[in-house]
Structure 1
Amino acid sequence: MAHATQNRTITDAMQRQITIPSEVQHVICSGPGCLRLLTYLQAQHMIVGVDSIEVRGVDADARPYAMANPQFANYPVFGEFRGNDNPELVISLDPLPDVILKTYPEWGHDPVQLQQKTGIPVVTFNYGDLTGAQSDLYDSLRLMGKVVGKQERAEAVIAFFENTLEDVQERMATIDRPSRSACYVGGIAMRGGRGFESTMSSYTPFELLGITNLAAGSTRQPQASHAVVSQEQILAWDPACVFLDVSTSMLQPENNGLRALRKDPSYANLSAVQNNTVRGLLPFNSYTQNFGSILANVYYIGSELYPEAFHDIDPTEKADEIYRFLVGKPILGQLEQQFGGLVFQSISTSD
């Protein structure tokens, strides 16, 4: 690159030694969640192109990082989403990226081949999460921060996650385990919206709160978090504590989880339906996990189930505090508008 007078070597998630310019000015983000992490690092201005997910029009967008940066839709496209990069489009970008940042390197275009075809260094990252793969998330933030010169911000984001999780743990430490609720969450989005029977066997907000997830044993595959349970099983559980991913309310009638709760006579016998104690949650599975929405859900669930432990928390204010730090804007209002005012509300199950 004309502006790079020196190079440096880093080790990426695939344990490859990658030579990159000493000063990186331009990048592109390939793969689910990659541009989200770059936004967390306050370095989204460095991109020179986007993948196709950033320019497609949708009725409801559950990606706060993109909602806070509508300019992403105006960038040239270098390939299809989920890492299906087009080398010819990449090398047509002006200016060229100094580095290609790539999450989920096992998806889409092979990183080694992409680097060979474009002549541009490809740095890979393991996306991670806030539970079992926390170290991957923190390693990726640190590595990405090192690549783009945002090491200090990377440490600030990690500290924010750590402090937030510690705050939740301290609050829940005041609640005895036997008195914690057993809950079900339905309508979980997974590569698009799903019906009420769509759930997660390891629902992150429940895990972070230490509450029992009734669907925890609903899949035989330990690594398969998403699960579809039968209506019969939900009726047998008869959960008094029911949450609904509000993205399901945007679907056509045959897949709409909220409509099922309101119209299906079988569900009329559920205690939560009879007591009108179904509560709406933010979708967070949209181009992989949106960590801000996960944490916002944690505080809302905690406030609803354990008001004494979360007595000083206003969930809507907390959500915007989280979004403001991570993506730079308080965007909960936009999410509420998109999802019909159902976010963080007790949802009526009667017509």
Structure 2
Amino acid sequence: MFTRKLVKTGGFTGLVCAIIIALSVTGCSADKNAPEPDVVGEQSGQSEAGGQAEQSAAGEQYGQSNPPAETEPTTWTFTDTSGKQITLGIPIEKAVVINRNTAEAITLLGAGDRIIATGDNTVKNNPYLGLDSLPEVGETGQVNLETILSLRPQVVFAYTNRPDERLEEKLEPAGIKVIRMNNFLPDQVDEEWKMLGKLFAQEERAAQFLEWKHQIESIPAERIQSIDEGDKKSVMALSAGFLNSNGGYRVFPSESLGGEPGVGEGYATILAGGKDAADLQWNPAEASTTIMVDEEYVLTRNPDVITLHGTWLGGYEAVDAEPLEEAFSNIVSISSIDQLNAGKNREVYFFHTNFIGSDKRYIGVLQLAKWLYPDRFEDVDPGAYAKEYFEQWLGVPYQGIWYYSFKENH
């Protein structure tokens, strides 16, 4: 059965103030390569969530209810993830965030009240952050610069590869710093958390969270060490939306150019003890985090396991697995999945992007490892960590469908 999330009375701390701005925000068309990580070919299906919950007692365990001590402003010179050196007065008090992963990190740090506008479909894909009353400045491919300028933030947080350098060209002459970080790539995220802790004067909380995260990451790392390479299952990570829309294949590579870790969805295969069925390398300079391949390539590679990824299925507001089952039935009917070892054995698993290709990757990796090697992880409950993340770190009820096994339900 799919994981049915229990809703618990809880709350969201660091309530954001509603900001009513009398100006017209330019609408944005969907940019299928821009949202993080790649959602090419995905379908819109999630409704936006409104409202904010009250502060929960669970959140107090992690100090979320305690406001940071008064900190004297200071100047800090640092290098962001893009390699750009920035000198900035800290702590930051007013930020526009057009990177939904960074918006979640700032909120978890207890500094969500310092976010004055969002973008990158943050409200749609991360509705539990309680940022729905803030101005929306557009997707990463079509940012409304006039709105940002009118809000006069100290900084704008963006991804390293989007929007392009016009963001700096338009905003920095007005005294608005652009900080580029990703907060979803596995080889960068820890340093980015430390950077955010310093920028918002929440270094202790950032350190506490990283310690908790590292404890979870150590579970699969320790248990997969003894698996011989020849015994590892081969896995191909695919875009669920692209496969569902036309039976086509877009692969999330586990490796970047130069042999560095690839994007989260693909690299999760390695972290979970699998081996990548694809032999592709991702170029971090590209906006898309997938590489399109043809049917013959997939049939030749013939993976033991397929993981499907996207944001248009499942998520925080999902209560029913029927849309997942319908999508899978459609995929089987229009693609060659059933000709693969993975399809024949129904070793096909869905992950919402937030839980394996994004900031909660470590929980999704643990679940994938359990599906790949159930005997090694029989005593592990990834859902317990997911519940802890939402209720005790973010201080909101844990709910939704974040991952789903087509093997266990067929």
Same fold (TM over 0.5): yes
* TM score, norm. by length of structure 1: 0.73
- Provide Cα deviations, 1:199-222, integer angstroms capped at 9, x if missing partner: 21210211212311101x145868
Instruction: Measure how far apart 1:98 and its partner are.
Output: 4.1
Distance 1:201 1:34, change over 3 A: same
- Structure-1 residue corresponding to 2:94: 26
Q: What is the distance in 2 between the residues matched to 1:267 and 1:166?
A: 33
Instruction: Measure how far apart 1:323 and its partner are.
Output: 4.0
Percent identical residues: 18
Q: What is the distance in 2 between the residues matched to 1:53 and 1:183?
A: 29
Please state whether the residue corresponding to 1:185 is helix, strand or coil.
strand
AA aligned to 1:10 is: T
Distance 1:12 1:220, change over 3 A: closer
Correspondence for 2:332 among 254, 257, 262? 262
AA aligned to 1:319 is: A
- Provide Cα deviations, 1:102-139, integer angstroms capped at 9, x if missing partner: 4427624433541322x34x1513325454x33xx233
Distance 1:193 1:295, change over 3 A: farther
Whether the 8 Å contact between 1:187 and 1:194 is mirrored in structure 2 is no
- Structure-1 residue corresponding to 2:171: 114
- Structure-2 residue corresponding to 1:282: 352
AA aligned to 1:271 is: N
- Structure-1 residue corresponding to 2:301: 237
Whether 1:335 aligns to 2:398 is: no
Correspondence for 2:180 among 125, 128, 146? 125
Whether 1:51 aligns to 2:111 is: no
Q: What is the distance in 1 between the residues matched to 2:249 and 2:76?
A: 48
Whether the 8 Å contact between 2:248 and 2:335 is mirrored in structure 1 is no
Q: What is the distance in 2 between the residues matched to 1:151 and 1:222?
A: 28
- Structure-1 residue corresponding to 2:341: 271
AA aligned to 2:135 is: P
Whether the 8 Å contact between 1:194 and 1:257 is mirrored in structure 2 is no
- Count of paired positions: 314
Q: What is the distance in 2 between the residues matched to 1:36 and 1:26?
A: 16
- Structure-2 residue corresponding to 1:340: none
- Structure-2 residue corresponding to 1:75: 134
Map of 1:181-192 to 2, 5 A cutoff?
Answer: 181-188=233-240
Map of 1:1-351 to 2, 5 A cutoff?
Answer: 7-13=74-80, 14-20=83-89, 23-31=91-99, 33-51=101-119, 53-54=121-122, 63=125, 66-69=126-129, 71-77=130-136, 79-82=137-140, 85-93=143-151, 96-104=152-160, 107-108=163-164, 109-111=166-168, 113-117=170-174, 119-120=175-176, 122-127=177-182, 129=184, 131=186, 133-134=187-188, 137-188=189-240, 195=247, 197-202=249-254, 203-215=266-278, 217-218=279-280, 226-245=290-309, 258-264=328-334, 266-284=336-354, 289-292=357-360, 294-324=361-391, 327-329=394-396, 331=398, 333-335=399-401, 343-346=403-406
AA aligned to 1:139 is: E
The structure with higher relative contact order (CA 8 Å, sep 6+) is: 2
The two structures, once aligned, show a CA RMSD in angstroms of: 3.8
Whether the 8 Å contact between 2:216 and 2:363 is mirrored in structure 1 is no
* TM score, norm. by length of structure 2: 0.64
The runs of 5 or more residues in structure 1 that have no matched partner are 56-60, 251-255, 337-342
The runs of 5 or more residues in structure 2 that have no matched partner are 1-69, 255-265, 315-325
Instruction: Measure how far apart 1:31 and its partner are.
Output: 3.8
Stretch moving more, 224-233 or 3-12: 3-12
The structure in which a higher percent of residues are helix is 1
- Provide Cα deviations, 1:155-200, integer angstroms capped at 9, x if missing partner: 123223322222221111243332111122333569x988562221
